[in-house]
Amino acid sequence: METLFHASPFTGYVYPNETIIPWTVLIVVYPYLTGLVAGAFTISSLYQVFGFTQLRPVAHFALLISLCCMLTVPLPLLLHLGHPERAFNAMITPHTTSAFAIFGYAAAFYICLLLLETWFVFRPHIVRQSQKLGGFMGWAYRILSLGSNDVSDRAMGYDRKWLFALAIIGIPGAHGLHGYVGFVFGSLKSREWWSSDLMPVIFLLSAIISGTAFVIVLYVLSCKLRKVAIDLSCLKVMAFSLWGFMMFTLLLEGVEFASLVYRGREGIDVIMEFVKGPLVIPFFILQFGIGSALPLAVITFMIWRGTSGTALILGITGCSILVLLAVLMMRYNVVIGGQEISKTARGLLAYHPPIFGREGLLAAGIVLLIPMILLTVLVRLFPPWERAEA
């Protein structure tokens, strides 16, 4: 018989019902994915709205990455729900006082926006393919063109206006969506570890760094697979953005933690016990040390030394992989860590995620792979580098 729940061992005193951790690794994956969405969209918008022309080689690719991640965002939530078939209850009878009730609308709006922006970006390609290809693919592209086959300069000028407007709306949209995820945690007064006004801002900044790092890694990988040269100036701009946003994130995380300790409210003893014990490896070593301080130092070193060529590519890609790990650990330490500190402020729980099952590590891993699978398909249908390299 399948185990219905996984009880967590504890030390000290925890409320009896707390031994089953309510939010599991799937709820770690959920903010991670929304973060990637916001970060990748930022990169795309820096080109689309603010005219960072160095980012042109990755602008459309970043948009596709953002779309693929966004399409996957509802999946971990649906997998986590006790009754996923009732998920629409939150949309048909939204309880307006709940921060969660907005999710369905916000996500639906943002998916529509991303789809629309993607359509405008790739419309010339869609039109070309619909005219060039026959058979099923030609038919599919003809449907995707939505009967809009005009690619004259006038029409393209009109498209550019739309793209600009969509990217402008998309910036608060993407960042709002992720800031809101931070709010879901930060606004809960029942958990001292989450209850912080800085939580949405930290979530947002870490989202930007994870999204940027994700675009860097996938861009380098795609160039290697396509056997084309990597645009170093593009890579450098992304690395600089990464560096800047990491600085802010680290500072804010430091300020938040310092405030928590300095305030020293009831329960600080058990929080310090948690920080000095179970949190040493996931937080101090993985998230802070290897995932944040090391890449920050390496990028600083490379900027200082003016590193270029293969060393720069290797350095930045390696750092980006570490940053991706750091942000994943940050999500884990927030979501799971918050639940490992008992609401009694007198005990600690130890959550050991199961490997198999609906809420296991395997399921979470598969959810994280889905955007990449989607991306592999989408870059074939809508090559994001075609225009950039033309």
Partner 1 sequence: MDENQRSEPHDKERRDFLSCLGSAIACGAAAVAANAVASPATAATQAAAASSEIPAIPGYDWSKHQWGFGVDAEKCIGCLRCVEACKKENNVSLDPHHFRTWVERYVTLENEDKALIDSQADPVNIAASPVPGEYRFANRYKDANVEKAFFVPKLCNHCTNPACVQVCPTGATYKTADGVVVIDHTYCIGCQYCVQACPYGARFFNEEKNVTDKCTWCYHRITKGLQPACVEVCPVGARVFGDRNDKQSPISQFIQNNRVRVLKPETGNAPNVFYVGIDKDVI
CB of 182 to partner 1, least distance (A): 15
Give yes or no for residue 149 binding partner 1 (CB under 8 A): no
- Which of the stretches 16-24, 147-155, 163-171, 210-218 binds partner 1 when contact is defined by CB under 8 A? 16-24
147, burial (CB in 10 Å: exposed 0-12, middle 13-18, buried 19+): exposed
Nearest to 334 by CA among 146, 196, 151: 196
Instruction: Say which residue the tokens 């009109």 belong to.
Output: 158
Q: Which is nearer to partner 1, 89 or 131 (CB)?
A: 89
Give yes or no for residue 343 binding partner 1 (CB under 8 A): yes
Please tell me the count of residues contacting partner 1 according to CB under 8 A: 47
Give yes or no for residue 190 binding partner 1 (CB under 8 A): yes
Write out the two tokens for 360.
Answer: 């296991």
CB of 206 to partner 1, least distance (A): 21
Q: Which of residues 64-83 bind partner 1 (CB under 8 A)?
A: 77, 80-83
CB of 116 to partner 1, least distance (A): 17
End-to-end CA distance of the chain: 59
- Which of the stretches 227-235, 245-253, 278-286, 342-350 binds partner 1 when contact is defined by CB under 8 A? 342-350
CB of 353 to partner 1, least distance (A): 16
What is the spatial distance between Cα 227 and Cα 80, in angstroms, rounded to a whole number?
40
CB of 21 to partner 1, least distance (A): 10
- Which of the stretches 189-197, 204-212, 234-242, 363-371 binds partner 1 when contact is defined by CB under 8 A? 189-197
- Which of the stretches 89-97, 228-236, 239-247, 254-262 binds partner 1 when contact is defined by CB under 8 A? 89-97
Cα 88 to Cα 93, 94, 176, 180, distances in angstroms:
8, 9, 21, 19
Write out the two tokens for 18.
Answer: 């707390």
User: Which residues does 70 contact at the CB level (< 8 Å), separation at least 6?
Assistant: 33, 34, 37, 107, 110, 111, 114
Q: Which is nearer to partner 1, 22 or 309 (CB)?
A: 22
Give yes or no for residue 331 binding partner 1 (CB under 8 A): no
- Which of the stretches 9-17, 175-183, 207-215, 229-237 binds partner 1 when contact is defined by CB under 8 A? 9-17
Give yes or no for residue 100 binding partner 1 (CB under 8 A): yes
Give yes or no for residue 263 binding partner 1 (CB under 8 A): no
Cα 150 to Cα 324, 338, 367, 390, distances in angstroms:
41, 54, 38, 20
Give yes or no for residue 128 binding partner 1 (CB under 8 A): no
> For the chain, what percentages of helix, strand and coil (3-state, to nearest 5) are there?
75, 5, 25
| Beta strand segments in the chain, E | 10-13, 346-349
Q: Which is nearer to partner 1, 5 or 262 (CB)?
A: 5
Give yes or no for residue 189 binding partner 1 (CB under 8 A): yes
Give yes or no for residue 157 binding partner 1 (CB under 8 A): no
What is the spatial distance between Cα 108 and Cα 297, in angstroms, rounded to a whole number?
39
What are the residues facing 7 on neighbouring strands?
A: 20
Give yes or no for residue 86 binding partner 1 (CB under 8 A): yes
CB of 82 to partner 1, least distance (A): 2
Contact at 8 Å (CB) between 102 and 255?
no
Polymer length in residues for the chain = 390
Return the HEC string of 67-120: HHHHHHCHHHHHHHCCCHHHCCHHHHCCCCCCCHHHHHHHHHHHHHHHHHHHHH
Site for partner 1, rule CB under 8 A: 4-5, 7, 12-20, 22-23, 77, 80-95, 97-101, 103, 184, 188-191, 339, 343-346
